[in-house]
Chains A and B, each alone.
Chain A
């Protein structure tokens, strides 16, 4: 479809790009752009909360006290527990669950993206470099993947394998590789004819050597941009799966799961759903701000 036009566009930008790689220059650009800085700050805060969860969370996210359920934010239990964001339908502290939930959401987002990114990059590299029949096969595979409605595929797979953290990452990873593959393939197509590839070939380098030493580093740039934005999408998809009952098992807290559980209480106890929703929104906002800036700096031709 748009492969050729992307190829042309990227080719033109590739030349410009080679000037921008310096890390120092990158950091200076970042500090200048307030939006991206905000995004970075948000993400760092959330990542810190996730990593330091055990230290930061006030209470055990799994501790139930059914008599203290559905209490509003700021509530103090008879034993002296203060729930800053209220308690959920089983009396668990929402703030603690939110903090631990950050962990799971980030794990899912990053792992799924890693899996999909690796898979997609490999397929894109092979398709772009080898061309011909293999390329055709890969493109048809891509089309097949795109034509299948994600939710139905996820539902079918999880219905068969059972819902668990591992299976969710598996499903998300296996269904999201297409964007990476397309972009990588387009890049490779344009790079394939460049001088340094012919030079490497002349020097006697084998196929895989060329792919990994020369093509891969150049291809990584757009992949990183896409990967960043995809993490946001993974987090939102996880919440969609939780809505359908296919998410991570209780009592493990995930933002999507908390949102899905809390939706029934929106009119009576709004805090159950609102805080996880805000957490998701903020994280995705941060990712998008940072990702947009990355794209503008590294590869403005990349249209998603």
Chain B
């Protein structure tokens, strides 16, 4: 049988007392750190695959000598990870940290320093942090709109199964999942801003500026969550214990809201956690269309210009936020479904 997170019969307090959860969380924490560094290595390798950006950062009339000097100055001639013969870099062993490009990057990150952006000549992390609030605002708003519309629609569709309401809701959801983000965004701008003059066409500012970008970004998730909520609810409503409760005379509303919802929430929470990652990364297109001053746009430009420090800072920070969110989802999970086993 299920038990609810606030009830002592779950033995939640037992878990806290014997430290199982603590150990689990600590393990997850270290694994997350590993994940973050894994990401940075992957990005590092990919970016360096076509050589260095020295040529891109110099003006078109620079001479070969200028470019070579610049290369030396930026340390692009040093090996990425290790040079042949590798034992040269084993004694003293800290040479890896000072003489290789990744080594330098690693020591910097541990101190919180991603270096200066090549193109902007400003600390990379600072540039990312400036834009982060805007991206987070957009992502949160998108998710909030998505959930607040999708969950009620999903519940209603499940409860009024196979009626016109159900079909209408699901058709809309299907449509929402099949439109490319940028098309939706441009249509919204043309309709709501240019044609009807209801909302601003671009930029950040008042709550009015947030509406169109947030709806555009959240549309896909909204559709997915609506369909998921519906199927999850349908499944829970068909369970033994629900039929029993209904037979016992529990009111429909109470049934749906207090009992069914809690259990139907499990897969929905998973999807919300996963979708946050998609939204954070997918904000790129929405930010470009609406000229929203967020990290996505910055990261795209940085990749184009092979601005390594900036790319690393952006990807690292976005991944960090994603990992944190999923960490929270994990914790939320252990309350909602205590059947989750800790390995």
Contacts and interface: CB of A to CB of B under 8 A. Distances in A.
A55 interface: no
A140 B13 CA distance: 29
Given A244-B300, A284-B177, A1 B326 contact: yes
Interface stretch (A74-82, A154-162, A205-213): A154-162
A260 B324 CA distance: 34
A69 to B, nearest CB: 21
Given A4-B339, A243-B180, A289-B174, 12 more contacts: A2-B270, A5-B337, A143-B326, A147-B36, A147-B322, A152-B284, A160-B46, A240-B181, A240-B285, A259-B183, A283-B178, A288-B178
A244 B182 CA distance: 10
Contacts of B181: 240
B180 A4 contact: no
A84 interface: no
B42 interface: yes
A281 interface: yes
B333 A2 contact: yes
Contact of A149 (B38, B273, B277, B339): B277
B180 A256 contact: yes
A158 to B, nearest CB: 10
Contacts of A144: 35, 38-39, 42
B137 interface: no
A152 B178 contact: no
Contact of A281 (B178, B280, B329): B178
Interface residues of B, number: 64
B242 to A, nearest CB: 16
A220 interface: no
B57 to A, nearest CB: 16
A243 B182 contact: yes
Interface in A224-275: 232, 236, 239-240, 243-244, 256, 259-260, 263, 266-267, 273
Main secondary structure of the interface of A (DSSP, over half): helix
Given A266-B190, A303-B231, A146 B277 contact: yes
Output the residue of B49, B231, B322 with the most chain A CB within 10 A: B231
B264 to A, nearest CB: 10
Contacts of B228: 303-304
27 contacts: A2-B267, A2-B340, A4-B339, A5-B340, A143-B32, A143-B35, A146-B322, A147-B277, A147-B322, A149-B277, A149-B282, A149-B296, A149-B315, A151-B284, A152-B281, A152-B284, A232-B178, A239-B183, A240-B285, A266-B187, A267-B190, A281-B179, A285-B174, A300-B235, A303-B232, A303-B270, A304-B228
Nearest to B194: A267
A155 B303 contact: yes
Interface in A159-208: 159-160
Interface string B265-281: 01100110110011011
Interface of A: 1-2, 4-5, 8, 136, 140-141, 143-144, 146-153, 155-157, 159-160, 232, 236, 239-240, 243-244, 256, 259-260, 263, 266-267, 273, 277, 280-281, 283-285, 288-289, 292, 300-301, 303-304
A289 B47 CA distance: 40
B131 to A, nearest CB: 14
Per CB-CB distance, the 5 closest pairs between chain A and chain B, nearest first, are A149-B281, A284-B178, A303-B267, A147-B319, A239-B180
B34 interface: yes
Nearest to A303: B267
A160 B51 CA distance: 10
Contacts of A160: 46-47, 49-50
A74 to B, nearest CB: 24
A267 B191 CA distance: 11
A266 B178 contact: no
A115 B15 CA distance: 42
Interface string B221-253: 000100110011001000000000000000000
Contacts of B227: 292
Interface of B: 31-32, 34-36, 38-39, 42-43, 46-47, 49-50, 174-175, 177-183, 186-187, 190, 224, 227-228, 231-232, 235, 266-267, 270-271, 273-274, 277-278, 280-282, 284-285, 296, 299-300, 303-304, 311, 314-315, 318-319, 322-323, 326, 329-330, 333, 337, 339-341
A139 B181 CA distance: 30
A9 B311 CA distance: 41
Contacts of B266: 2, 5
Nearest to B238: A300
B274 A150 contact: no
A268 to B, nearest CB: 12
B100 to A, nearest CB: 20
B324 to A, nearest CB: 10
B43 to A, nearest CB: 7
Contact of A156 (B273, B311, B333): B311
B35 A140 contact: yes
A209 B281 CA distance: 40
Contacts of B271: 303-304
A155 B36 CA distance: 19
A147 B325 CA distance: 10
Contacts of A266: 186-187, 190
A1 B272 CA distance: 13
Contact of B182 (A143, A240, A281, A289): A240
Given A143-B35, A157-B46, A151 B285 contact: yes
A244 B282 CA distance: 12
A172 to B, nearest CB: 14
B281 A150 contact: yes
A1 B330 contact: yes
B7 to A, nearest CB: 19
B329 to A, nearest CB: 7
